[in-house]
A and B are shown apart, each in its own frame.
Chain A
Amino acid sequence: MKRTTTKIFTGMLAASGMLLTQSCEKDLPQSTGFESYTYASLDEDGGTWDPILLTSGADTAIAMPADVTSDAYLAEIDEVKSYNDALTADEQEAVDYWGNNTVIRWMEIAQELVAKYNLAPSPNEDGSYSGPNAANPSVYPYFPFAHPPYAVRAYAYLAAAQYDALITTWNYKYTYNRQAPYKVDASIKPSYPDNNLPSFPSEDAAIAEVSSEMLKFLFPLEVDYINGLAADCRSSRKWAGMNVESDLVAGDDIGGYVFRQYKARAANDSMKYAQVDAATYAAYETNADALWGSQWSHWENLEVPQRPVGIAPQYGKVKTWWIGDPESLRPGPPPAVGSPAYETAKNELMDLVDNATREQEEMAYFWADGFGTYTPAGHWGRIAMDYMISYRQNPLRTARTFAYMNTAMMDAGICCWDTKYYYMYPRPSQDNEGLVCLFGLPNFPSYTSGHSTFSAAAATVLGYVFPAEASLFDSYAKDASESRIYSRIHWRFDCETGVEAGNNIGDIAVSVAVTDGAD
């Protein structure tokens, strides 16, 4: 009998052990998976496209490189050859990780930093709150608090700067036409698919430089982390046989130049005034009371202890990319509290409190993109990556897609924030006993929905870039929007009006994109 016992035990141990370790042993992906691929096009005329901020791809001068027969160049080739035959495991890992579209990797790094810094300040002992201080970022609460407006601005600056850096890079690639090391010396084996893209200046060095500088500017506590990544990205080009040192140096120069232009814009885009003190904030409350009369209470933060000021009340005054004055696009007012339209929306939410289906909840969590995540704008970046890869976009096209999508989303955010703090409309849970949510309420007014506005703008731009997928992107935007109703974070009219505004803003961005020379 004892032996039977032992046998049963051994069997059970083995069975459950197998079941569990099968799933444990797999490494979970920390980046989007793509094998380096052959670009669908090289866009030889990319250097003539209109940049976002620069005047043209020739704004900064890049000197003619040494000829491929020169001693200086041959010495550089020798260096690449010295790596190429015997990559260490770490070098091979870097080559595989960065791949031949580093624009995507740098956007992932931005997403990770946003997620890391997307936490609201914890209350102090006495129930008050402190805010992050850009001048002293390492004192809690750390700078930045990467809430959705901060996040979308980070993505927009990163993407637009990458795009301008690549237009400049393309301009000089096809001005000087210096071929890649593996074209010059057939003994060098490229780690990525062969193509005819001139390698001077290096597109990946330009991206690494502009991206790392931008991210250090936006996330000042991450300097060491970002420097390490940039050095790894840059070196991997030599390990992969794609670039020689002078290709990289020219790329660095372009990246540095473009970053400085964007930094100057960022310093004066009014973001530093977006978060206001309680005294300034009082004017928003007074204005809302004047707008609505004393029929009902304007929006208030519902946390305990109450946060005295919402997130970024003056984000609506931040400099836009395409839409000009956001007030001109401000949607009309939401239904007054207590009106029939309000009651209809309230009944829908009250019903969802008890009767939301698991599918609706799943949609709510899938699109939640709340604290500790890359925010809705990051979610759309992630969606875009899948299509950039499946459509085999080259880095220039990838940067263009990100640039128009993220700048459109930032404009959408600015317009939405202007609307939010103009109407100061209450969240469903305010003054409605029992109207509980699936997760925590964001610290800004309800009308219109940020998720809806961001998502519709992004879907519109992506639908322009990938027309065959347009209806799919629209359905995603609708899901993102509806998900806020299922979680009882928003009224239906917040969402529907937000989608309308977002589509409108997306259309404005697309109207610029169609004239930039890329079509």
Chain B
Amino acid sequence: MILKRLLKSTTLLLVTIVFGLQLNAQTASDAVIMKPGEICFGVSYTNASWSEYWEGDSLRDNGNIGTLTTHAITGGFMLGIMDRVNILAMLPYIATSPSAGVVAGDKGIQDAGFFLKALILENKLGLGNIKLLASAGLIIPASDYVPEHPFAIGLGCPDGIFRGIVHYDAEMGIYGRVDAAYHLRGNAFLDRSYYYTTSGYYTDEVDMPNAIDYNVTIGYITNNKKFKAEGVLSGLNTFGGFDIRRQDGAFPSNDMEAMRVGLNADCYDLGIKGLALHLSSNYTLTGRNVGKSIMIGGGVSYQFGLWNPRDKAAKSTTTPQAK
């Protein structure tokens, strides 16, 4: 499950890329909580590309970029630390590559993410079961990458992410989920000491707009809990920021908006207990100062018991699907 989360996080990063700018990791947006002592490691690869982007609200191509492809490999883990509380950590390596022009892509380790996630409420509701969860965490640049690189691998700012999740399991394996997060962002730092946004600034520090992101998910899980498929509508909106002007480059504090649809699938029937395969994809429908990207990705995760919880009755579940 961590993998799906990782996929999603980088997905969100990648699809918002304009000249490489990306949104910070979305995390812990599903309803999964592992038991204490359970750990799940995962690694994923995603490939996002676009050949058009929105300059302000105007969709355009750029012959000096061609198609920009962003590759991301993300490693991470999720660990049950106590009943109803999990921690997550993740670290992506990202490489960007334009198909045209004379400007090189960038590559490097991007932002490290650390999150705490908790199940707050679980109750019967109607014919199904409702869960309320929350997650909070921080992503911070884990290398000295350049946020103003024309094809930057990240925004270069710390981002505190606070998410609420409501998950409903209906009958016959159908479930629905809505989650939304507030991004409280710290400042980014440039390699230069003057820049212009809508006025001039005599500093290397950039005030980054805060943001929200949200996902509306509808899914189906088989009776034996071995396969799962879901559709997602997701959105991103910064509070403030400015538009890319005509023929200007992107800037970390641009106004960024995006709405996209995605399909995800998971398989837990791989013949090895705890091993799972995850596939993910999405497509950007509308946006502002972001690339109109298409993303596909895949990954594997492996879950096992690291220690035995005091309560022997709380056995590991090998398929940590949404219950």
Binding site for B on A (CB under 8 A): 1-2, 4-5, 8-9, 12-13, 16-17, 19-21, 23-24, 28-33, 108, 111-112, 115-116, 119-123, 140-141, 302-305, 353, 358, 361-362, 365-369, 371-374, 378-379, 382, 429, 435-441
Contact = CB atoms under 8 A, between A and B. Distances in A.
A12 B186 contact: no
> What secondary structure prevails in chain B residues at the interface with A?
loop
Interface in B145-188: 146, 148-150, 158-160, 162, 184-187
Contacts of B84: 1-2, 5
Interface in B94-133: 100-104, 116, 118, 120
Contacts, number: 153
A219 to B, nearest CB: 14
Greatest chain A CB density within 10 A among B102, B162, B191 is at: B102
Given A24-B207, A28-B205, A361 B246 contact: no
Nearest to A368: B192
A437 B85 contact: no
Nearest to A13: B136
B37 to A, nearest CB: 15
Interface in B182-202: 184-187, 190-196, 199-202
A29 B203 contact: yes
A302 B64 CA distance: 9
Given A115-B194, A141-B246, 17 more contacts: A8-B85, A17-B184, A19-B138, A20-B186, A24-B207, A30-B199, A108-B202, A112-B196, A116-B196, A119-B246, A121-B247, A365-B192, A371-B249, A372-B195, A372-B248, A436-B102, A441-B102
A4 B186 CA distance: 28
Nearest to B245: A119
Interface string B63-104: 110000000000000000011110000000000000011111
A362 B101 CA distance: 22
B200 A23 contact: no
25 contacts: A2-B84, A9-B118, A13-B162, A16-B136, A19-B160, A19-B186, A23-B205, A30-B199, A112-B200, A121-B247, A122-B60, A303-B63, A304-B63, A304-B64, A358-B144, A372-B196, A372-B248, A373-B194, A373-B195, A374-B200, A378-B194, A436-B104, A439-B150, A440-B102, A441-B102
B162 A28 contact: no
B187 A23 contact: yes
B16 to A, nearest CB: 20
A371 B193 CA distance: 15
Contacts of B134: 9
A111 B199 CA distance: 10
A366 B202 CA distance: 13
B135 to A, nearest CB: 9
Given A1-B84, A304-B64, A9 B136 contact: yes
Given A379-B194, A437-B104, A5 B118 contact: yes
Contacts of A32: 202
B110 to A, nearest CB: 15
The 9 closest A-B pairs by CB, nearest first: A304-B63, A365-B191, A115-B196, A16-B160, A436-B104, A112-B200, A122-B247, A429-B102, A20-B186
A506 to B, nearest CB: 23
Contacts of A5: 82, 84-85, 118, 120
A382 B187 contact: no
B202 A24 contact: no
Given A9-B116, A19-B160, A112-B196, A119 B63 contact: no
B225 to A, nearest CB: 26
Contacts of B158: 19-20
A8 to B, nearest CB: 6
A303 B100 CA distance: 9
Nearest to B119: A5
Contacts of A29: 201-203
Nearest to B148: A365
A374 B194 contact: yes
Interface in B231-255: 245-249
Contacts of B192: 365-369, 373
A437 B160 contact: no
Contact of B101 (A111, A304, A373, A438): A304
A440 B102 CA distance: 7
A439 B201 contact: no
Nearest to A432: B102
Given A8-B85, A358-B144, A362-B191, A122 B246 contact: yes
A24 B103 contact: no
A394 to B, nearest CB: 22
Nearest to A305: B63
B137 to A, nearest CB: 8
Contacts of B247: 119-122, 371
B200 A440 contact: no
A21 B184 contact: yes
Contacts of B194: 111, 115, 373-374, 378-379, 382
Contact of A28 (B148, B159, B196, B203): B203
A286 B138 CA distance: 60
Contact of B83 (A1, A28, A119, A367): A1
